[in-house]
Structure 1
Amino acid sequence: MGRLVIVSNRVPVPKRGEPPAAGGLAVALKDAFSGRGGLWFGWSGTAAEEPADVVRHARRAGVDYAVIDLSQQAYDGFYAGYANSALWPMFHFRLGLLSYDRDQAECYRIVNRRYADKLMPLLRPDDTIWVHDYQMIPLGAELRARGSKHRIGYFHHIPFPPWAVFSAMPGSEELIRDLLAYDLVGVQTHRDLTGLMDCMAQGTGMKLRAGGEVRFRGRRTLLRSFPIAIATQEFADLAAESVKSAESQRFATSLVGRSLVIGAERLDYTKGLPERLRAFGALLERFPEHRGRVTYLQVAARSREDVESYKDLKREIETLAGRINGDYSDADWTPVRYVGRALPRGTLAGYYRMAQVGLVTPLRDGMNLVAKEYVAAQDPENPGVLVLSRFAGAAESMPEALLVNPLDAVGMAEAMNTALTMPLDERRDRHAAIFRRLRENSVESWAKSFLAVLEGKDGAEAAPSRAAALSVFQPRVISRSASTSSDRASGEREGSQVASLPIAWTRRAR
């Protein structure tokens, strides 16, 4: 078995003597590395005016880390620019916030070429490469242009919109064709898979048929959904222990017996934070019996502070929190507590466990692991209730949560009221059903299932998919409405010529 090579935009290199990072992708991939060795490659997190053009190496707990720096100009164009000002809003259906600049788009590709240049010499013939997320979409094509014959998979962590949204991005056809360089493209949910398939069909002119694959130049690209998970029991144990800590007990004392509603995420316009605050204000207005009896804690760790839309969002949230507190506070009660920085994972786990309501209401999210962590953290004998946006990927596997439209402030207020007044037996039943599903779908099984399909183990390549198949050999697009049973029975039809090759496949490697 060859090594596993992970490529991500940011590489969390542990400091010597310290354990690996406890959250995010590091947890998801911890077990994937075990037993086979591996390399984790990507950006160091450092942007300098004149960065050293070298790859820096470290080895921690059996994993090799290889990182490179970016120039400040590359960071501004690739990361702060195209990735986060154009791709991020587009993938989250926020076209009004999309800011496209052609020079930044080219910088995005230049950085991916540089990543490919630096990664290729580090690869061994039997390596399996797993590329993560939207910052790296062109990387597979760049590696192929340099002669890579490896199995290369790509996992898309954020939502994948339909072509009607995706096509608003200049250069959208090239981005879609870049994905054909991968042997496997994974997304979070069935909804995302539907969006990906729509983009593949309309962005390349390919015909849909049964099977879940694209055949191009002798390579088969499989399209699958792999809902990412958490280490459920590990987080449950962490929460049970953390709630006993002095910090958690001090926080519990400050609540003075009041119910706790909690929200915790990165400060981002996709998370629906202003809408959530308005909903909490509506709860206090429409259900006055909760005044003085419930406290809302919102943790919103600052991020991307060099992007103007994030600065505007921070000001809006602070204004809304201040307005609610001004309207409803008493001398001994402040309804909203707003923490604008990250809290340690253990601290949050303890806070989740003591919260009667978990408020997870993004406007759009690929999955949202906070929803899963909140449920995992609960005391099964006296659990809280999850209020969850129907536009979070997690909603597909959590029908027992109270599902809401995050744009409906009154609807969310009613859901919070339902959660705060829900009988214990119903709370237990809802929690038990979700928790059982979380345990059955572990983070370990997520990574293993992706790699099994990518590497063709145990017949995984032939596994059924909810995706339709694509083939460049029958390129005419057939709409869903036209794809009747009689059409399928009559066989394949002739069509137009396939779209052009991915640019990176035909250009000379730089």
Structure 2
Amino acid sequence: MGRLVVVSNRVGPLKDTGRAGGLAVALVDALTQTGGLWFGWSGEVSEEGTFGQIKEQRTKAVQLAQIDITPADYEDYYAGYANRTLWPVLHYRLDLAVFDRRHETGYRQVNDRFATRLRPLIEADDVLWVHDYHFLTFAAALRAMEVGNPIGFFLHIPFPAPEILAALPNAGSIVRAMLAYDLIGFQTRRDAANFRRFVVEELGGTEVGDSRLSAGGRTVIVKAYPIGIDAEAFSKFAMSPEARRSVSRLEKQLAGRQQIIGVDRIDYSKGLPERFRAFERLLDDYPENRGRVSLMQIAPPSRSELDAYIEIRRTLEELTGHVNGRFSDIDWTPIRFLTRSFPRRVLAGIYRASRVGLVTPLRDGMNLVAKEYVAAQRAEDPGVLVLSRFAGAAEGMPEALVVNPHSAEEVAQGLQSAITMPLEERRDRWQAMFDRLCREDAHAWAQAILSDLRSVA
């Protein structure tokens, strides 16, 4: 069995630093099994860019290889096409998308140059696994260099309906380039179906057999592979010394009150202003919660140089002041808005101390916070997950209280149901979700994709 070669926008770390996400842990495990190479952007901008020296780091089984990009590449490929064009379009936000031909050209050129730098490192029996919207045209560039290895792709964010994607200039060309992959994986059945519809309706492709598409002389596996977490390991995080300290501090501060927790990057896809308004609606419609229930929103900044993110942070700060001004008391603050990140073990403790996990994105590929919240709970007295129907996680977590994040009234009703839910029902819902998380964990996710990809060889 050959090596696994992973390609992603950001690379590493190879060791758990306490802040590494579940995806990084799953990829390191997969790479370690057969030996492998993890290739991608260093996160650095330099004048040499992709033509500069490859930065390497090795362990016994895994090699990291990273390259820089130039300031122009950063503006066109990363800040431009990836985050001002693809990100909003794939999240159904055409109103925020910037369509600039220069950005698209820069994006394709960076994909080509990354492929050029990776090509000499590829061995004959390697299997390649490429990640996310930064590399939609990457396999096409490798095929042009006569790379015949199996190449799989996984999209971590949503894939929109054809009616939305068709608004992207050259959408057909982008999707046609994606068909150079042998396997294309999505978070949900809905996303996979959207991709198949686009290929059939816009590119004249045909569905052949189970989860396969034929188009442009190629047959490609197109399938949903919902990403998981290491639920058992995360549940142990919730019992770590760091988590226990978090629980102790929160319980002292809450003094018998209940806490709702939200953890999201500041991003317009996460529905944070709608969430704050729904919490205000909870206090309006169910006044018995005043002085008894608070919302803690942890929201580290994301892509803070983009105008849309500057505006949403300003909106959140204004909403926090508005709600707290209306309802605060001498010994109670309704909303605590923290714009910083925390290590995962500390987060596990915060989740455990919170009666309700509030995960209400307007659109999300999966949302692993929902799964981490469930994994962190006490079996004997678990909290309740209130989850957006537009999060990919909702497809596999029917025991959560699934709500429409655009309806403040519906979210408030879901919160009230969660706050007042009897212990026996909370236990039943939690146990069903936790058992499923343990079965369908990050390891099972990676193995399912790699098994299908290796079958191509």
TM-score by length of 1: 0.87
Q: Does the 8 A contact of 1:78 with 1:104 survive in 2? A: yes
| 1:280 partner amino acid | F
Taking only the aligned residue pairs, the percentage that are identical comes to 48
- 2:9 is matched with 9
After superposition, residues 337-356 of structure 1 pair within 5 angstroms as: 337-356=336-355
Displacement of 1:209 after TM fit? 4.8
After superposition, residues 273-284 of structure 1 pair within 5 angstroms as: 273-284=272-283
| 1:203 partner amino acid | E
Q: Does the 8 A contact of 1:13 with 1:20 survive in 2? A: no
Displacement of 1:243 after TM fit? 6.9
Q: Deviations over 1:33-56 (max 9, x none)?
A: 123100000000001345461211
Alpha-carbon distance between aligned partners in 2 of 1:420 and 1:68, rounded to the nearest angstrom = 49
- Secondary structure of 1:35's counterpart equals helix
Alpha-carbon distance between aligned partners in 1 of 2:239 and 2:422, rounded to the nearest angstrom = 22
- Would the alpha carbon gap of residues 219 and 209 (structure 1) be closer, same or farther in structure 2, given more than 3 Å must change? closer
Q: Does the 8 A contact of 1:89 with 1:97 survive in 2? A: yes
- 1:312 is matched with 311
- 2:254 is matched with 255
| 1:87 partner amino acid | L
Alpha-carbon distance between aligned partners in 1 of 2:207 and 2:37, rounded to the nearest angstrom = 36
Alpha-carbon distance between aligned partners in 2 of 1:11 and 1:120, rounded to the nearest angstrom = 18
- Would the alpha carbon gap of residues 19 and 304 (structure 1) be closer, same or farther in structure 2, given more than 3 Å must change? closer
After superposition, residues 14-29 of structure 1 pair within 5 angstroms as: 14=14, 22-29=20-27
Displacement of 1:242 after TM fit? 4.8
- 2:102 is matched with 103
Task: Quote the RMSD (CA, aligned, Å).
Answer: 1.6
- Secondary structure of 1:124's counterpart equals coil
- Secondary structure of 1:315's counterpart equals helix
- Would the alpha carbon gap of residues 209 and 6 (structure 1) be closer, same or farther in structure 2, given more than 3 Å must change? closer
- 2:125 is matched with 126
Alpha-carbon distance between aligned partners in 2 of 1:397 and 1:255, rounded to the nearest angstrom = 32
Alpha-carbon distance between aligned partners in 2 of 1:280 and 1:154, rounded to the nearest angstrom = 38
Displacement of 1:248 after TM fit? 3.2
- Would the alpha carbon gap of residues 26 and 44 (structure 1) be closer, same or farther in structure 2, given more than 3 Å must change? same
- Secondary structure of 1:240's counterpart equals coil
Alpha-carbon distance between aligned partners in 2 of 1:216 and 1:90, rounded to the nearest angstrom = 23
Alpha-carbon distance between aligned partners in 2 of 1:205 and 1:310, rounded to the nearest angstrom = 38
- 1:240 is matched with 239
After superposition, residues 140-179 of structure 1 pair within 5 angstroms as: 140-179=139-178
Alpha-carbon distance between aligned partners in 2 of 1:318 and 1:69, rounded to the nearest angstrom = 35
Aligned residues: 456
Alpha-carbon distance between aligned partners in 1 of 2:199 and 2:215, rounded to the nearest angstrom = 12
After superposition, residues 159-308 of structure 1 pair within 5 angstroms as: 159-215=158-214, 219-242=218-241, 245-308=244-307
Displacement of 1:21 after TM fit? 6.0
After superposition, residues 55-66 of structure 1 pair within 5 angstroms as: 55-60=54-59, 62-66=61-65
- Would the alpha carbon gap of residues 217 and 334 (structure 1) be closer, same or farther in structure 2, given more than 3 Å must change? closer
- 1:446 is matched with 445
- Equivalent residue for 1:43, pick from 35, 41, 44: 41
Alpha-carbon distance between aligned partners in 1 of 2:142 and 2:28, rounded to the nearest angstrom = 25
Q: Which sits farther off after the overlay, 353-362 or 242-251?
A: 242-251
Displacement of 1:216 after TM fit? 5.0
Q: Does the 8 A contact of 2:243 with 2:346 survive in 1? A: no
- 2:331 is matched with 332
After superposition, residues 355-374 of structure 1 pair within 5 angstroms as: 355-374=354-373
Q: Deviations over 1:451-490 (max 9, x none)?
A: 0000118xxx9xxxxxxxxxxxxxxxxxxxxxxxxxxxxx
Q: Does the 8 A contact of 2:389 with 2:404 survive in 1? A: yes
Alpha-carbon distance between aligned partners in 2 of 1:11 and 1:274, rounded to the nearest angstrom = 32
Q: Does the 8 A contact of 1:144 with 1:181 survive in 2? A: yes
| 1:369 partner amino acid | L
Displacement of 1:303 after TM fit? 0.9
- 1:474 is matched with none
- Would the alpha carbon gap of residues 432 and 112 (structure 1) be closer, same or farther in structure 2, given more than 3 Å must change? same
Q: Does the 8 A contact of 2:203 with 2:215 survive in 1? A: no
Q: Does the 8 A contact of 1:243 with 1:351 survive in 2? A: no
- Secondary structure of 1:267's counterpart equals coil
Alpha-carbon distance between aligned partners in 1 of 2:413 and 2:217, rounded to the nearest angstrom = 55
Q: Which sits farther off after the overlay, 337-346 or 50-59?
A: 50-59
After superposition, residues 405-444 of structure 1 pair within 5 angstroms as: 405-444=404-443
- Secondary structure of 2:333's counterpart equals coil
Alpha-carbon distance between aligned partners in 1 of 2:241 and 2:270, rounded to the nearest angstrom = 26
Q: Deviations over 1:266-302 (max 9, x none)?
A: 1110000000000000001111100000111000010
- Would the alpha carbon gap of residues 80 and 338 (structure 1) be closer, same or farther in structure 2, given more than 3 Å must change? same
> Which structure has the larger Rg?
1
Alpha-carbon distance between aligned partners in 1 of 2:10 and 2:426, rounded to the nearest angstrom = 39
Displacement of 1:214 after TM fit? 2.7
Q: Does the 8 A contact of 2:18 with 2:344 survive in 1? A: no
Q: Does the 8 A contact of 1:39 with 1:63 survive in 2? A: yes
Q: Deviations over 1:397-422 (max 9, x none)?
A: 11111000000001101110110000
Q: Deviations over 1:69-116 (max 9, x none)?
A: 011110111111110011001101111111111001100001001100
- Would the alpha carbon gap of residues 284 and 21 (structure 1) be closer, same or farther in structure 2, given more than 3 Å must change? closer
Q: Does the 8 A contact of 1:21 with 1:27 survive in 2? A: no
Q: Deviations over 1:233-275 (max 9, x none)?
A: 0001111235753343122211121101000011110000000
Alpha-carbon distance between aligned partners in 1 of 2:175 and 2:98, rounded to the nearest angstrom = 19
Displacement of 1:331 after TM fit? 1.2
- Would the alpha carbon gap of residues 195 and 321 (structure 1) be closer, same or farther in structure 2, given more than 3 Å must change? same
1:78 aligned to 2:64? no
Displacement of 1:13 after TM fit? 4.0
- 1:383 is matched with 382
Instruction: Structure 1: give runs of 5+ residues left out of the alignment.
Output: 462-510
- Equivalent residue for 2:31, pick from 24, 30, 33: 33
Displacement of 1:28 after TM fit? 2.1
| 1:310 partner amino acid | Y
